[in-house]
Structure 1
Amino acid sequence: MNYPVNYSVSIWLNHARIKNELTPIYARITVNGERANLSLQLSINDIYWDKKHRKIKGNCPNAMKLNTYLENFRSKINDCYQELYYQEKPISAIILKRKYLGQDVKRYSMADIIAYHNEEMQHLLHKATMRHYKTSQNFIRRFIKKKYTTSDIYLDQLNYNFIVSFEHFLRSYQPRDHQKPMSNNTAMKHIQRLRKMINLAHKMEWIEKDPFKRFKTRIEKKTREFLNQVELRQLEDYQPKLDRLSIIKDIFIFSCYTGLSFSDLMLLKRSHLSSDENQQIWIFTKRIKTNEELKIPLLPKALDLVSKYQWHPRTLKEQRLFPEISNQKTNAYLKEIAHICGISKKLTFHVARHTFATTITLNNGVPIETVSKLLGHTKLATTQIYARVLQKKVAKDMEILKSKLN
């Protein structure tokens, strides 16, 4: 086993925590460049501190007592270091600190933080999000096995090189089910999930140094597809002969006029509908992804589709608004529909949500704050990603400005 050779302990005044003109005395343990700070539970006025010799000035009984305490601390830390060294145990700044404090000096591994994260977060994160984490965790395990020829690695072994090497592994990874390599943004998402788990370990002091300190994720901004008014009309005018295509077309258009995601739409039942004093029909539900409340007034075209499926045999039993179908089949059928309608854009169900944000709402003067509420976003910045300002609206806004200036 390789032992750390660069080990030191220094005593210093932590001026960041000065209080009532008294500065706390801290110790800094350094092992191979990694640091761990430790409060010595003492505070003094700066004028009594000997910067050169790192001790209290003077020979008075109180100064001698405090200096003896500091020397005893150095001796105890050295004893801890020597004990770990001769027992051939791993040595790090955080391990030394914990040993001195009499705390658990367990050396945590990647498997430990993955298990802890999954246990703690399974009730806080949506199951789809947890599924993404488990995919990222599988990539981490494959990387460790390939690079280190082992199934696990200690967290104190992680460094900047580990992160960069993991990024390279992701970018060069060749999937078995298709030939397309991993995109930049997909690789960055896996790294972001690793970062969140390592941050959790860092907060719990399972790891002393953050290996992500100098690493920056690089997410590429991509154009979000949406249907313009002409394309949406093409889709609405299409009359499928097959029932499966008719259902997919209808739920897609319903999403274009409500902004609902596929998973939220599939859970809708008649009990989610309610009318106000003006006889306006509303949808009252919650987003699966964020648990945010959704209150969406139904536009006439959306209401017509609800009425169309009211007595459909696949909705009656559970009082669903629409027949249940998988997201995978939906997207496959949407490609077929796009080809028939002559729409060249890659049509996925999420395009409907983008269409609602742009063509249906923003393009017709609905304020972005209202659009954000309708989409169930927790941050306005998220809406700005979905809802790009269309050229037509820019021209309309400029005409209004011209009239005001004239």
Structure 2
Amino acid sequence: MKDSFFTLTFFPRKPRSAGSGEYPLYARITTEGQKAEFTIGRKVNPSVWDQRAQRSNGRSRRDIELNKYLEMVRSRFYEIHNRLINEGQFINPQIMKNHYFGMVEKPKMLCDVFRETNIKRREEYERGDIGYATFSRWERCVTYLEEFMTLNRGEKDIPIKDVTAGFIQDFEHFLRMSKECANNTTVRYLRYLKNVIQYAIANKWTNDDPFAGKRFKRTKAERCFLTEPELQRIMALDLKAFPRLESVRDTFVFCCYTFVALTNVCLIINKLQTNNRGIGNGLETTCLHHFA
């Protein structure tokens, strides 16, 4: 913001061609010697126009409505000027004129920016840089944000510059209470949101970081080994109604008996072999394709 003072002047201008005898009205915005002029779409008879008062002295209904309209235009410019000051933006006549006519870029919305980053996550998934589960969580986080804002604010999206530390705390509470997310899952979603906010800051769509000073601590999971009876119970589960889960179970049991690490190799079950050596409890080995 360079200057907080401006003047707004209304004046009639004689048209080039003779018409009804009325002159079109113009507005002039002035700041620091700079000016911008535009027609306000109204006309006035020059005989009733008071330039000093910048209003019509006529008594007709049309003149009364014109004066009300001029006051409305003036109030609109004061509103624009105050908002620009509060936001710390640069002020000049052209900027104020653009705001009046709605020719300014609309604020970036939180969920829109989130989906923009999700396009990049999809490209990373298709390239093999991240797994499908990670990509799904990124998309699910947007859905949770929309549910949270609809429930708490009555709207599905807000300008990203309006995201505050309080908004983050409320969203964290929503994840833990309404979505019953465990600590590590909640932390993961909040880190996704933090990544989006940092992306917006880098593009100058927002200036404040609502995550400043906030730290997330994940719970260290205590992992233990499966016992033989537990593995037998997993093998005995009837999952025929859930083919996908059955394939996952078969792959897991196969890895338990063959010492193949799921974390190092991607395994895809191709076909159950009925003639291969059994590995216990009637479960047959599977034909697996290995991908690095």
* Mapped partners of 1:199, 1:146: distance in 2: 25
Is it true that 1:133 corresponds to 2:177 in the alignment? Answer: no
Aligned to 2:167: 162
1:201-220 superposed Cα distances (whole Å, 9 cap, x missing partner): 11111111111112221212
Instruction: Output the aligned Cα RMSD.
Output: 4.8
- Structure 1 gaps of 5+ residues are 1-7, 11-73, 176-180, 270-306, 323-375, 377-406
Aligned residue in 1 for 2:115: 115
The DSSP-based 3-state class of the residue aligned with 1:260 is: coil
Shift of 1:224: 2.1
| SS of residue in 1 equivalent to 2:145 | helix
Q: Distance in 1 between matches of 2:78 and 2:185?
A: 43
Partner of 1:215: helix, strand, or coil?
coil
Matches within 5 A, 1:308-347: 308=277, 315=287, 320-321=288-289
- Measure the CA separation in 2 of the matches of 1:241 and 1:101: 72
Amino-acid identity (%): 18
From the superposition, tell whether residues 104 and 123 of structure 1 become closer, same or farther in structure 2 (CA, over 3 Å): farther
- Once the 2 structures are TM-superposed, how far is the Cα of residue 258 of structure 1 from its aligned partner? 2.8
Q: Partners of 1:234 and 1:150 in 2: how far apart? A: 48
1:98 deviates by: 10
Gaps of 5+ in 2: 4-30, 37-74, 96-102, 241-245, 279-283
On the 8 A contact 1:184/1:219 being kept in 2, the answer is yes
Report the counterpart of residue 224 of structure 2 in structure 1: 225
Which residue number corresponds to residue 61 of structure 2? none
1:159 and 1:232, CA in 2 relative to 1: closer, same or farther beyond 3 A? same
- TM (norm. structure 1) is 0.38
Give the aligned partner of residue 393 of structure 1.
none
Q: Count how many residue pairs are aligned between Structure 1 and Structure 2.
A: 197
Shift of 1:112: 2.1
Shift of residue 92, structure 1, vs aligned partner: 7.7
Matches within 5 A, 1:165-180: 165-173=170-178, 175=179
For residues 88 and 146 of structure 1, the distance between their equivalents in structure 2, rounded to whole angstroms, comes to: 33
8 Å CA contact retained: 2:84, 2:91: no
**Shift in alpha-carbon separation, 1:76–1:123, aligned structure 2, 3 A:** farther
For residue 115 of structure 1, give the secondary structure of its aligned residue in structure 2.
helix
TM-score, normalised to structure 2, is 0.51
Tell me the equivalent position of 1:264.
266
* d(CA) in 1 for partners of 2:237, 2:189: 42
